Structures are given as structure tokens and as C-alpha cells.
Amino acid sequence: MTIPLSRRVRRVSLSANAAAKLKTTALREAGRDILDLTTGEPDFDTPEHIKRAACAAIAAGATKYTPTAGVRALRQAVQRKLSGENRLDYPLAGIVVANGAKQIIFNAFAATLDEGDEVLVPVPYWPSFPDIVRFNDGTPVFLECPLEQRYKLTPAQLEAHIGPRTRWLILNSPGNPSGALYDEAELAALAAVLRRHPQVLILLDELYEHVRFDARPPQGLLNVAPDLQARSLLVGGVSKTYAMTGWRVGFGAGPEALATAMTVVQSQAASGASSVGQ
């Protein structure tokens, strides 16, 4: 019997990262010595104090369903982290927790995209961005950012690609996979363009904020242009910083109306994230 598949699922394919990971796993199981660069897996283990906390949580019975938007204590911890480390203040109602940062991104696009809406994706990009857009009826628009531009988007490119259907700009810093970091002047120049187009939402994927090789504190778009916070979604998580990739805990911080809509999406897709992970 042929199973009829939806147009939605036929628009996308298995994540390129996942497909490559399957291949490396098969080669390793066949006895090959493989250096696996397919996924962003830190080269250290989850710290011992985190493992002990998870064991203590299990022993204490923290194994039940969790609130869809996330455990209050974790959301408060995210709130403190963003205030103290990123110098950004959010109400608790603007902070949501999901099954990894990927689900935060998926929920945001599911909550905001209609057919034909466009999402600007600077190239190189994390492979899941365009297919998450397509799955949610949007159209990815690619902006080539070659080595000559240090893999970074220019204000002129951004201005040229914003159209009447532009719904989101994805700004991934530090860049995945390039590692590119925008400096303050570059962020200010992009912000100047975005101010001329108030209909464009901004997705700030900063999952790799601690994977860097200088002593500078995190400096994001919203530090340079705080007026854009009202239409931005800041995405983070514990996977890269704490080597907790398998724990599946990510967070988003943004406008309360967007956080509420994302929670509605999550309530119908996966419910709350892992109680032990949180």
C-alpha cells in the first residue's frame, strides 16, 4: 500500500545533519575510525554537578509532566542569565522552554508564518533553517555571504532582499557553521536597515554564544539596538555551553504575544520539555 504524504512533508527532507550522522554512525559500527563533525557535539561530557542534580531530581520524584512553557524555576534562571550575562531584561511571560533550541525556532515559525511569507536566511546557514521555514508554509530567501564578506551579512544585502512578504530575518551569531561574529559597528548598521522595515521580525540564534576564543562578553544585536527587542526572538539553550545535547532543553525570549503563541504550538506538538532535563 502506498501511504499518501502531505505536501508539507514532501517539501522537506531528512535534516542534512541527521543524515550525515546516520552515515558516520554506520561507518563507526563497521569498524572505521571516524572523526565526526556532522553535528555540534561538544568534546567534553556533561559536568558532574549537572548529572548529580538530575539524579537528585529523579530521586525526589521530579518525573511528572511539566508546564508547557517550562518549569517556573528554570524560566526564572533564564531570566537571571539574560539580565546578568546578556544585559537584557525580559518579563517571565516572555520566556519559554522547549525540547531544544530547534523546537523553539520551529514553534516561532509555526506561530507566525503563512503561505508565501518569506524568511531571510544568510548563507552559510545551519541546515535546518530553510526546511523549518518550508515545513511551516514559508519561503526561505537566501543571502549569499561568501568568505570575502567574512561570512557576514551586509546592510546593502539586507536592504535589497526585504520585500512586502518578508516576515523574518535570521541572524545567527556566532555563525553556525562559520563561527563569524558581528562587531558593534556591523550590528548597528544592520539595525539601521531593520528600523526602516518595522514589519520584519528578527530571530537571534545565539546557541553558540560561549563557543568563542576571546575574553569579550557576549555582544548581540539587542545590546546595540535595544529598540528592536520588541520584535526579536532570542534563542539559546544548554546543549553547547554545558554539553547537554541529549537533554533537549532550549529557551526563547521575546515579546509576550509571541511567547504565548509558541506555547500554544508546543501544547499541541510535544507538551512540556523533559522534567529531569529542566
Question: What is the domain-level CATH number for residue 119?
Answer: 3.40.640.10
Q: Tens digit of pLDDT for each residue in 225-260?
A: 999 999 999 999 999 999 999 999 999 999 999 999
Query: Alpha-carbon distance 101 to 60, whole Å?
Result: 27
Total tally of structural domains belonging to the chain: 2
Tell me, what's the pLDDT at 34?
87
pLDDT lower than 70: segments of the chain:
none
Tell me, what's the pLDDT at 214?
79
Tell me, what's the pLDDT at 38?
79
Domain ranges, residue 39 = 13-43
107 close to 98: Cβ distance less than 8 angstroms: yes
Residues 158 and 20 in one domain: no
Tell me, what's the pLDDT at 41?
81
Tell me, what's the pLDDT at 18?
79
Residues 163 and 207 in one domain: yes
Does the residue 277 lie in any domain?
no
Tell me, what's the pLDDT at 6?
87
For the whole model, what pTM was predicted?
A: 0.93
Tell me, what's the pLDDT at 211?
86
Residues 35 and 129 in one domain: no
Does the residue 51 lie in any domain?
no
